Structure 1
Amino acid sequence: MNILIFGATGMVGQSVLRECLLDPQVNNVVSIGRSATHQTQSKFHEHVLKDITDLSPLTDELSSIDACFFCLGVSSVGMSEEKYHAITYDLTMNIANTLVKIQPKMTFVYVTGASTDSTEQGSSMWARVKGKTENALLKLPFKSAFMFRPGAILPKNGVKSKTKLYQTFIVILRPIFPLLQKWFPNAVIDSEQIGRAMIAVARDGYPKAILESTDIREASGK
């Protein structure tokens, strides 16, 4: 498979990139983002762009992509709905609409979050916007599309969060990671599982378009 990743420097993106580079069934990995990952493997091709919505120079390269793992995202804390909508919905749909024109046969995997609101009518601003984004993506004529709704993600293998507060909690809680996964099996997954699950659904599909933490764990095979 040829994989495209958006947001490879974030915690989820780092996890997905690592698993793609390790997987022998992934032939090529293309990363598009605003900052570099500094990976140097031969099957890895990175594009650092000021405007990540302008994909016109990469049309030929993207026409051979089998799956896009869209891992871009921001916290809604302290953000107005207008700004959060622009980053979460407008940016995502701009890119997705471009990709589906370039390669409609690809699988599109989008990372949202637990409690995303598919009705788009709830009281939680971020959940409404995420739900709107999910609904719009599922209507696009990709070969298939999957929405990943992880709860808590425990980073493994050196993966770190770019959010300082979250990374601080990770460092404090790391000694009890195994217990958290045991106590909250329906809400807690690790970074390796989410990476393996994305590769699996891109390769084999999945019975559901929206995957919660239990589905992600099942799809990962771990």
Structure 2
Amino acid sequence: MKIVIVGSGGMVGQGVLRASLAAKDVSEIILLVRNEPEGVADPRVRHIVNKDLLTFDASDPLFSDVDGCFFCAGISSSGVSEEVYRRVTYDMTLRVAEQLKASSPQMKFIYVSGAGADASGKSSQMWARVRGEVENKLQALFPGNVAIFRPAFILPTPDVQSRTPAYRLLYTVIAPIMRLISAVTGKRFLSIIDIGNAMLNITRYGTDKVIMSKPDIVTCADKHSAT
């Protein structure tokens, strides 16, 4: 499989990249990044640096025959205006999606949204409305070839941190407790690796469900053994 990962430097994106590197049937991994990356040494990986995703152009033959795009990029809505949040969350996402659709029409597009996103546009929360608009546009752009993840709490691996200071502090406190609960009770928490494995399985086998919450993502991650 040939995949594109957007947002591989973030907490979720790092997990998705690790899952992809562990998959034997992944032949090419294109990382669309805004800054020169470090620490990824694998012959299957190619980095494409693009400072502003609003200028992204997928006309390069590199982006033809892509099997799946895993879109993990995003920002917190805390402390930013709707204009800024919309530019990053809506405008940049749709620019990448439309460009890749033109170069690889049959690819799967898997988008990490968030629990509480509102596709009706009626939510009082700005972030939920904007995320919902993105979801609606992606479903129209990729009919039958899109999956939208709405996770709530996501458990990182111990060596991965969020880039958002508030989230980083939260995970520092909560993550060890969640791991202890999991070890004692056997309760399954959604991990960044689960998200990556679910994305890979959707690319391999497709999915009948478009909007996916935590139980759906876990089921999809476990549905087939990694190839």
TM-score by length of 2: 0.90
- The equivalent of 2:145 in structure 1 is 144
Asked if structure 1 preserves the Cα contact closer than 8 Å seen for 2:54 and 2:91, the reply is no
Aligned with 1:30: secondary structure?
strand
The yes-or-no answer on 1:27 pairing with 2:30 is: no
Work out the CA distance in 2 between the residues paired with 1:78 and 1:173.
23
- The equivalent of 1:3 in structure 2 is 3
Q: CA deviation at 1:190?
A: 1.1
Q: Please report the RMSD computed on the Cα atoms of aligned residues, expressed in angstroms.
A: 2.0
The yes-or-no answer on 1:118 pairing with 2:107 is: no
Q: CA deviation at 1:195?
A: 1.0
- The equivalent of 1:162 in structure 2 is 163
The letter for the 2-side match of 1:96 is A
- The equivalent of 1:87 in structure 2 is 88
Alignment of 1:121-132 (within 5 A): 121-132=122-133
* Residue correspondences, number: 220
The yes-or-no answer on 1:63 pairing with 2:64 is: yes
Asked if structure 1 preserves the Cα contact closer than 8 Å seen for 2:110 and 2:146, the reply is yes
127-136 or 167-176: which moved more?
167-176
- The equivalent of 2:50 in structure 1 is 49
156-165 or 210-219: which moved more?
156-165
Work out the CA distance in 2 between the residues paired with 1:2 and 1:57.
14
Q: CA deviation at 1:96?
A: 1.0
5+ residue gaps, structure 1 = none
| Change over 3 Å in CA distance of 1:81–1:189 after alignment to 2 | same
Q: CA deviation at 1:179?
A: 4.8
The letter for the 2-side match of 1:171 is T
Q: Decide which structure has greater strand share.
A: 1
Q: Percent identity?
A: 37
Work out the CA distance in 2 between the residues paired with 1:19 and 1:213.
18
Q: CA deviation at 1:192?
A: 1.2
Please give the per-residue CA displacement for 1:87-130, whole angstroms capped at 9, x wherever unaligned: 11111111111111111111001110001101111111100100
Aligned with 2:163: secondary structure?
coil
The letter for the 1-side match of 2:141 is L
Aligned with 2:32: secondary structure?
strand
The letter for the 1-side match of 2:24 is P
Please give the per-residue CA displacement for 1:125-171, whole angstroms capped at 9, x wherever unaligned: 10010000000010014660110111001101522211122222222
- The equivalent of 1:36 in structure 2 is 36
Please give the per-residue CA displacement for 1:160-191, whole angstroms capped at 9, x wherever unaligned: 21112222222223332235556986xx4111
- The equivalent of 2:220 in structure 1 is 219
Work out the CA distance in 2 between the residues paired with 1:211 and 1:179.
26
Work out the CA distance in 1 between the residues paired with 2:47 and 2:209.
31
TM-score by length of 1: 0.92
Work out the CA distance in 2 between the residues paired with 1:94 and 1:56.
9
The letter for the 2-side match of 1:20 is S
The letter for the 2-side match of 1:201 is I
